[in-house]
Each structure stands twice: as C-alpha cells, then as structure tokens.
Amino acid sequence: MANTSQPVHRTALLASAVALLGLLSACGSEGSTSSAPQPTEAPRTTSPDTGASTAPAVTTAPSDTAGSASASARTDGRCHTSELRAAVGRVDPGAGQRNFPIVLTNTSDRTCTLYGYPGVAFVDASGKQLGPDPERAPASPETVTLTPGKSAWAGLSFSSPQISGARTATPAALLVTPPDERDPIEVEWTAGEVPVGGDESSVSVTALDAGTGP
C-alpha cells in the first residue's frame, strides 16, 4: 500500500506558512496606518505660462506715498507775487477820509490763498519811499481762497491832506507786497497827493477780504 503521510505533511506545512505570511502582512498594514500626521503646506498655484508650480504671492499693505505727496502739495497753497496782479480802485471819500481798495487778482491757472495784510508803500519816481509804513487796522484776518481770475482786496485810508494840514508828496507809484512774499508789485499812482509827514499823516491798511472792494 502507498505511503500517504508525506504529502499530507507537506500540505500542512504549506498552509501554516501561508497563514503566517498573512499574519505578518496584516501587522505591517496596521503599523503604516498609525504614522504621525504630516505637516500641511500652503496651497500652491500653477503658472498659466510655464505650468510650473509657484508659491502664493505675499500681499502687502498699500503704500501711502501718493497721499503724503498730495498732503504736502496742499500745505503750500499761498499765492506768490508772480501769480498776482495788483490794482488800486477808485477813491471812496467820506468824512474827511480818502479810502482806496487795493485789489489783488489771481492770474495763475491754480487755486491759491491769501491771509493777512498786504505790504504797501508810496514811492517816488526813483523808487524812494515817501512817508512811514502804513499802520495795520485792527482785524481778525481770515484765509481768502482765490480760484483763477478771482480777487481779494484791502482798504488803504488816510485823512485828506487839505483838511488835516499834513505835509504831502505826490507818489509815482504804490508798491504792493502780497502777504508772506518779498517781491512787491508796482502800481502807478494817479490819485494825487498823500500825507507823508507831520500831524495827522498816518496811513492805514486793512486785512485782505474776498472781492474787489465795497
């Protein structure tokens, strides 16, 4: 009779080996699923031109350089002598006084401002000043904004020399200096004698106001 114990034994050994291999594979799978979580990277974008993956761009706060430049430009809005035309209006006599509006007109193409009192001085044909500087009439000046073509005025007043008896002279011109400027504007003087000395010879000037006079 044939011996069958040897094949049966091989079959049993093969089954044991397969079972052991399955057990080891199961252990390996469980170990791989228990690994520590990986760090998450920032999302990346793909360049439409090259197809290359690129990191997201960093967004920065908008610069305020333009705003600072605009603010700086606004701080120097003063009207300069070169941007103005000066004129002396018609006399407005009253109660022994002679009153003249001194008018400054913006001839530039920008808006500018005037604040305070203009400087004024009577001069002869050689440019020599006649009489003392005018006194400033008490006032609370306000900023006058002049768009192109607009004007501001100040009042120039003195007692009529025929009444006051003050020493007089006839100026060739009136020098008008805008507030905070150094260069004057020369305006021809055609209104006759002005007081330049003695009692009752004072001349006064008012602060600038909008318009061309009363």
Rounded Cα distance between 206 and 208, Å, is 6
The whole-model pTM stands at 0.64
Rounded Cα distance between 50 and 10, Å, is 62
Encode pLDDT of 45-76 as tens digits. 444 444 444 444 444 444 444 333 333 334 35
Rounded Cα distance between 187 and 212, Å, is 16
Highest mean pLDDT among 21-30, 70-79, 122-131, 192-201: 122-131
Grade residue 162 by pLDDT with cuts at 50, 70 and 90: confident
Q: Which of 45-59, 94-108, 134-148, 172-186 has the lowest mean pLDDT?
A: 45-59
Rounded Cα distance between 145 and 78, Å, is 9
